[in-house]
Structure 1
Amino acid sequence: MAWNWTLPDFRYDASALEPFEQQFLVSSGEILGAVHHVSQPEREQLRIELLSEEAIQTSAIEVEILDRLSVQSSLRRHLGRDPDSYPTKPREQGVAEMMVDVYSSFADPVAHETLFRWHRMLLSHDRQLDTIGTYRHHAEAMQIVSDRLDRPTIHFEAPPSARVKPEMERYAAWFNKTGPGVAEPLPALTRAGLSHLYFESIHPFEDGNGRLGRALAEKSLAQNIGQPTLISLAFTIEKERKAYYDQLEQHQKTLDVTEWLVWFAEVVLKAQQVTLDRVGFFISKVHFYDRHKDQLNERQAKAIARMFREGPGGFEGGLSAENYIKITGTSRAAATRDLQDMVEKGALNRTGERRHTRYWLNLDQGIENLS
């Protein structure tokens, strides 16, 4: 099998990427404009929510489940905000620290130490790894395999460890010379897509390559627009996880990567729309609490906060009386009164009858309401 790292340079059809590149710039402006509608203190909270979602989803792609509240508490601490009383855990603290570093140092060039630092942040809790904060050096081949141990399917084989450092020298040089305003600038989506595939093809670390590769793609996008993107890239990739791995596997065996770049560009544009939706939802949440502050009792406030944590999609199928009872620990009679009271105050909308009755947050249109 001829893996892509044994062959000459990548090639692709730049004209196929042009409409995606144009839309990316338009959508980037829309996101920046939407965020400016939020006050500075609220912008800090929005940043924590978006960063925590990315931290959770980039780990979920690797089938690692994180504690959301611990991630958010760690983010507050690393961003210099007053941490809450929720305990931070080593795994969550590490990924939060890395996300903040990616965010705050987006303009810096890529160097070995950049990646070593991220790797230490991400995996310092893992006592099973032989090498943390440096490239792999084991003699055996680095392979992505599945199926039976005695008859494995080899999906990819990375360069041998002895080649990793020189390959990463070339990678860093390529990354740094293709950014905006330098020797060989590339359009935003093209550069980010190539940077991710290129990094994954070297697979320089014993573990954590996927998370670091996605961080590099976000760093690349941020450099091209001149500020941190905060787009929901990992969230969107996680929703298309199988296609993501299929695309990586396919294009680690060929140098014509047009199909990969188109797929990646489509994912980034979807991620931008998810971000716009999330910003709109956050603005609606601020307006909701402005309208209903001091109107909700303790049980109602707890249930509303739980509904907001579900995100723009809300509870699947809507909030039921049974959900409300479980969240608040109250009686059915009190739940009925509380829910009816919130409908009358305009905090909730109600659909259905009897056991099919469901409740939904009554939100304004977020970004649309500001235009």
Structure 2
Amino acid sequence: MKWNWQQPGWPDFTYDAGSLAEREKRFLLQSGDFLGAVRHIGDDDRDLLKIELLRDEALKTSEIEGEILDRASVQASLLHQFGLAGPSARIEAAERGIAQMMVELYRSFAAPLGEKALFDWHRMLLAGNRTIEVVGGYRTHAEAMQVVSGSTLKPTIHFEAPPSRSVAREMKVFVKWFNDTAPDGRHPLPGLIRAGIVHLHLVSIHPFEDGNGRIARALSEKALAQGLRQPSLLALAYTIERKRRAYYLALERANKGNEISAWLTYFADVLLEAQANTIRRVEFYIAKACFHNRLRDRLNERQAKVIARLFREGVNGFEGGLSAENYISITRTSRATATRDLRDLVEKGALRRSGTLRHTRYALNIPNIER
């Protein structure tokens, strides 16, 4: 089988731009909705929202690759790097590194792309890793770089990247293309198309021993931010991780040819969904502030602890809904006390109740969750 990089015309991808025009318009319209929502948040809360969005993207882009990071450590590192908190000595290298990359992406989105930036990102991502031969540089090993699954005796090869000796040449073309297609470049491209191509192009070259997917997603966000002239804070990894199998299937279908309309349509839909998720997160954040203002000093210590836990679960809420057993587990209280507390929270309008008897469940009483 010939892969995309082995075919005539590589890396000049072809696609139907007209089929994506409506999606490009929707993306720009929703960007206005995002800005409008953020304007309702004060400066201090805006900083905290930025930290939450970047933290969750850092966690999810790592989780897509099977790496589970510590949420509190990533947040602490982000707070420190934005000057919102002091340093913490207990943060591991992996958490500090992904946080550094997210901050660098946020701050330097407008800068042209260069190999130094890519190498710096790679060093941040692989900070503390002792198994990778080359950190902060392109791969050099002679054996083929393959994406495989299944047993070692009978593996399934999903993709094979260009040989290491070709990577430096391929990446020079890639970097030049990225800068030429920027909004102020020689051949500007619409945002969704550019974000989709940069992702597929980078993972097709697979220039690094590890971290290619995370860097590709970061470059897609950089491309979108350049088009919007501001950081997108897009929930891209958050959205992809929820439908990870579809993401890998779309990539696998796209790496066998250079006509990529289907890939661009798929990725544009992911970006639109990610943008909608970001807007929903902002609205949830605003609703959260209103919720706390309305119920300030009206909750006992147990109730406040459970409400804080529910908010930490985010827009999608507590999986399966909050039960009396969950309440007892979180607060370590008696069933009778839990029943009184939950009834009181419903009466105060803090929670909604659904179901009966042992199927009774509770959820935050916030209209945005209904959507």
User: TM-score scaled by structure 1?
Assistant: 0.95
CA RMSD of aligned residues (A): 1.7
Distance apart, 1:91 and its partner CA: 1.7
Verify: 1:104 aligned to 2:107, yes or no: yes
Counterpart in the other structure of 2:278: 275
CA contact (8 A) 1:299 1:328 kept: yes
Distance apart, 1:170 and its partner CA: 0.7
Verify: 1:5 aligned to 2:5, yes or no: yes
Cα distance in 2 for residues equivalent to 1:316 and 1:334: 23
1:160 is matched with which residue: 156, 160, 163? 163
SS of alignment partner, residue 319 of structure 1: coil
Distance apart, 1:89 and its partner CA: 2.5
1:23-172 map, 5 Å: 23-83=26-86, 87-172=90-175
Cα distance in 1 for residues equivalent to 2:91 and 2:285: 24
1:52–1:174: structure 2 CA closer, same or farther, 3 Å change rule?
same
1:228 is matched with which residue: 231, 240, 261? 231
Unmatched runs of 5 consecutive residues or more in structure 1: none
1:164–1:327: structure 2 CA closer, same or farther, 3 Å change rule?
same
CA contact (8 A) 1:308 1:314 kept: yes
Cα distance in 2 for residues equivalent to 1:171 and 1:85: 38
Distance apart, 1:225 and its partner CA: 0.6
Percent identity over the alignment?
Answer: 56
CA contact (8 A) 1:73 1:86 kept: no
SS of alignment partner, residue 71 of structure 1: helix
1:348–1:151: structure 2 CA closer, same or farther, 3 Å change rule?
closer
SS of alignment partner, residue 15 of structure 1: helix
Counterpart in the other structure of 1:353: 356
CA contact (8 A) 2:199 2:217 kept: yes
1:298-317 map, 5 Å: 298-317=301-320
SS of alignment partner, residue 147 of structure 2: strand
Distance apart, 1:85 and its partner CA: 7.2
Counterpart in the other structure of 1:219: 222
Verify: 1:262 aligned to 2:273, yes or no: no
Q: Point out the more displaced range, 244-253 or 195-204.
A: 244-253
Counterpart in the other structure of 1:198: 201
Unmatched runs of 5 consecutive residues or more in structure 2: none
SS of alignment partner, residue 314 of structure 2: coil
2:324 is matched with which residue: 314, 317, 321? 321
CA contact (8 A) 2:77 2:87 kept: no
Cα distance in 2 for residues equivalent to 1:14 and 1:106: 25
Deviations 1:302-357 (A, max 9, x none): 11000001111211232111101111111222212222222222222222333222
1:148–1:348: structure 2 CA closer, same or farther, 3 Å change rule?
closer
Deviations 1:267-311 (A, max 9, x none): 111111111111111110010111111112221111100000111
Cα distance in 1 for residues equivalent to 2:87 and 2:314: 21
Distance apart, 1:57 and its partner CA: 1.1
User: TM-score scaled by structure 2?
Assistant: 0.95
CA contact (8 A) 1:143 1:155 kept: yes
1:249–1:365: structure 2 CA closer, same or farther, 3 Å change rule?
closer
**Matched residue count:** 367
Distance apart, 1:191 and its partner CA: 0.4
Cα distance in 2 for residues equivalent to 1:256 and 1:130: 34
Q: Point out the more displaced range, 38-47 or 352-361.
A: 352-361
SS of alignment partner, residue 153 of structure 1: strand
Cα distance in 1 for residues equivalent to 2:293 and 2:326: 25
Distance apart, 1:83 and its partner CA: 4.8
Deviations 1:7-51 (A, max 9, x none): 312111111111111111111111111111111101111111111
Amino acid at match of 2:280: D
